[in-house]
Amino acid sequence: MVKSVNNMPSRPSHRLASDSSDRSPQPANMVVFGGTFDPIHNGHLRTAWDLHETLGYEQITLMPCGVAYHKGDAQTSMKDRSEMLKAATQGISSLRLDLREIERAGPTFTVDTLTELRQSLGNAAHLVWVVGQDAAQTLHKWHKWQQIFDLANVIVVARPGAEWPDFSRWPAKIMSDLQTFKQSAFGAVYKARLTPLPISSSQIRQILSKGGSVRFLAPDQVVNLIDQQQLYRGNHKT
């Protein structure tokens, strides 16, 4: 039986989850790993895998963002990013893809996505938004960031070279026991130390812009797509 860790009501939303053929049926509890994924790499994929394998979540939803207002435009088209994500996750049943943010017009706000998800999952579901430490450092700058904790829990994943954010300013309860965390519908934070892989999309873009190879930093299918489409070549910003 899931329950909230505080008395904050998860507010009903005015939005309805839109349907998409790119989405498999939505699970009752949901762990969402969002990002620009420009491109998806093995640091992302191993993190998602560890969330499944080590933390015991049945399925992890990868959700590419549309226009990340706080990070600027991606270098590749939404189509290219989603093609790479599809290729990377194909045939892996514990990873699913949700393209709602790139289908939504305008800037991507996590709080809008979580409002939709809460609406469709119901108030009791254990909903989790996953961020790496670096993203967590700037979470307080996200649009309506405090509302995120009224809608979902957050897992912060350690990332090489990054540090934990100042959790004291987060309106959330830090939980060290995973099983207790999993009982929470929203408003809780769990710090996860998973397989540390010092890989980043910007590193990949930089290598490619200099004509190098990114083999084994991303899955072969993604490397092949990058090569076929000649992505990230030339003088791109990193």
> Which residues in this chain contact ligand ATP in the complex, by CB under 6 A?
35-38, 43-44, 47, 131-132, 134-135, 157, 159, 197, 199-202
Please report how close the Cβ of residue 7 comes to ligand ATP at its closest, in angstroms: 29
Please report how close the Cβ of residue 47 comes to ligand ATP at its closest, in angstroms: 5
Three-class SS of the chain: CCECCCCCCCCCCCCCCCCCCCCCCCCCCEEEEEECCCCCCHHHHHHHHHHHHCCCCCCEEEEECCEECCCECCCCCHHHHHHHHHHHHCCCCCEEECCHHHHCCCECCHHHHHHHHHHHHCCCCCEEEEEEHHHHHCHHHCCCHHHHHHHCEEEEECCCCCCCCCHHHCCCEEECCHHHHCCECCCEEEEECCCCCCCCHHHHHHHHHCCCCCECCECHHHHHHHHHHCCCCCCCCC
Residue with nearest beta carbon to ligand ATP: 132
Looking at beta carbons only, is 87 or 197 nearer to ligand ATP? 197
Looking at beta carbons only, is 84 or 121 nearer to ligand ATP? 84
Looking at beta carbons only, is 124 or 162 nearer to ligand ATP? 162
Looking at beta carbons only, is 35 or 66 nearer to ligand ATP? 35
Structure tokens at 161: 């070279």
Looking at beta carbons only, is 60 or 121 nearer to ligand ATP? 60
Looking at beta carbons only, is 119 or 136 nearer to ligand ATP? 136
